[in-house]
Amino acid sequence: MSMVGTDSHLVTPGEAMEKLLANQVALVTGASSGIGYGVAKALADAGAAVVVNYHSHAEAAEQLVSEIETAGGAAFAVQADVSDPAQVEKMFAACRARFESVDIVVANSGLQKDSAFADMTLDDWQQVLATNLTGQFLTAQAAVKEFRRRGPRPASKALGKIICMSSVHEVIPWAGHVNYAASKGGVQMFMKSLAQEVAPERIRVNSIAPGAIRTPINKDAWDTDAALEKLLKLIPYRRVGESEDIGKAAVWLASDESDYVVGTTLFVDGGMTLYPGFDDNG
């Protein structure tokens, strides 16, 4: 490998470049598993200090914190239910206390409570909307207030960045999951309307819409050969996504590399939204 520098201080070309998210702080909700875990790890690898929010798995969150610290990064874990305004406020207060402010907020927490429509309980409907949509509202609102409070800082061209974790089901209807699809359809218009409102302040709001990513939320869809075969028919690229795929997209959307990207949904889905049912002449 070619080196630059003097004999006493040789640095690789990679080291000579500052990390993309150096001197920034990221908060990721629902980061104790799956996509949130992968996103938090990727943001930390890109140089951000990371606030690891978890709902109920403290050990997994602490494990992620220690992985980030072992790799030379900074992180801490904070418990909060994103559907509860007081807990969201406490989470941002903890973030300010430890890292002064936050630059990147990833509203990732989500859940499914699936059932046929006529059997769906009001509780299943409300729980999914409370976490997947109201949780994004509360998290993003606290983020906007925090960005305004602290004002611009040199590490980022934008005043702040918000990334909403949506889903291909913001556009693909999903029988048996009307609560989940309604929540993600809601995220689409929530994100765009908020992006339009706060863009003049240089706050960038965007979404990532994952396709099928191998995480606990959809284990039934990939953990047997039969299920996997059925799932792969829906994915033109013919592989299930990994949390790292979403992590890489999040790093780009959070960085100045995407500074002119405002109010868009980045689909990271192996082509799932390309109407794969029409791949053989319909």
Compute the least distance from the CB of residue 52 to ligand NAD, in Å. 10
Question: Per-residue b/e over 237-267, b at no fewer than 16 CB within 10 Å?
Answer: eeebbebebbbbbbbbbbbeebeeebbebbb
With binding defined as CB under 6 A, does residue 160 bind ligand NAD?
no
How far is 73 from 54, CA to CA, in rounded Å? 19
Kindly tell me which of 29 and 265 has the beta carbon lying closer to ligand NAD. 29
With binding defined as CB under 6 A, does residue 170 bind ligand NAD?
no
With binding defined as CB under 6 A, does residue 258 bind ligand NAD?
no
Q: For residue 255, give the DSSP letter.
A: S
Task: Please tell me the count of residues contacting ligand NAD according to CB under 6 A.
Answer: 27
How far is 70 from 58, CA to CA, in rounded Å? 18
Exposed/middle/buried for residue 182 (C-beta within 10 Å: 0-12, 13-18, 19+): middle
Compute the least distance from the CB of residue 162 to ligand NAD, in Å. 14
Binding mask of the shown chain, residues 189 to 208, with x at each position contacting ligand NAD by CB under 6 A = --------------------
Compute the least distance from the CB of residue 243 to ligand NAD, in Å. 7
**Residue with token string 């925090």:** 146
C-alpha torsion sign, points 234, 239, 240, 245: negative
Please confirm, yes or no, whether 180 is among the known catalytic residues: yes
With binding defined as CB under 6 A, does residue 167 bind ligand NAD?
yes
Backbone angle region of 192, left / alpha / beta, with phi > 0 → left and psi within -120 to 50 → alpha: alpha
Could you tell me which stretch among 79-87, 90-98, 113-121, 224-232 binds ligand NAD (CB under 6 A)? 79-87
Give whole-number Cα distances, 138 to 7, 103, 118, 213, 268, in Å.
53, 17, 30, 25, 25
With binding defined as CB under 6 A, does residue 34 bind ligand NAD?
yes
Active-site residue, selected from the candidate residues 37, 180, 237, 275: 180
**Torsion, CA 115, CA 244, CA 39, CA 108, rounded to 10:** -20
Kindly tell me which of 37 and 156 has the beta carbon lying closer to ligand NAD. 37
With binding defined as CB under 6 A, does residue 33 bind ligand NAD?
yes
Percentage helix, strand, coil, to 5, in the chain? 50, 15, 35
**Binding residue for ligand NAD, selected from 24, 29, 207, 258, defined by CB under 6 A:** 29
With binding defined as CB under 6 A, does residue 36 bind ligand NAD?
yes
Binding mask of the shown chain, residues 210 to 239, with x at each position contacting ligand NAD by CB under 6 A = x-xx-xxxx---------------------
Residues 118-137 that bind ligand NAD (CB under 6 A): 131, 135
Active site residues: 180
Residues in contact with ligand NAD by the rule CB under 6 A: 29-30, 32-36, 55-56, 81-83, 108-111, 131, 135, 165, 167, 210, 212-213, 215-218
